[in-house]
Structure 1
Amino acid sequence: MEQQHEFLTTTEVAAFFRVGRKTVSQWCRSGHLKAIRVSEKGDWRVRRTSVEALAAGTAEGQ
């Protein structure tokens, strides 16, 4: 069975790390967080596992 990933918004990730949404967007663009762009405006969805890995100090998938 295919694993489904839970995704978070940049607002949710920003609240978790207590940083701004722009910081989270920069992390997405730079690859610090595994994320997908969901709109041409620049909205991102971040994998929960990527957030957990960053919080634990590990680099997911790198």
Structure 2
Amino acid sequence: MNRKEEMLTLVEQWRKSGLTRKSSANQHGLKSESFNYWCKKQYGEVEKVKADQRTYIR
């Protein structure tokens, strides 16, 4: 698993956990700023997929 896949998996686990971002980052030994970056990056990728799907539906 590459770094991107690893981080996005951790973001998914965090979303399901109910923990704060900071708590989840600390649990995995990550800096809060780094974890926040990956959370935002994953959100951007999800939004891009949704936009692409809307384009294909029309």
TM-score (norm 1): 0.37
Q: Report which of the two has the higher share of strand.
A: 1
Q: Report which of the two has the higher share of helix.
A: 2
The higher radius of gyration belongs to 2
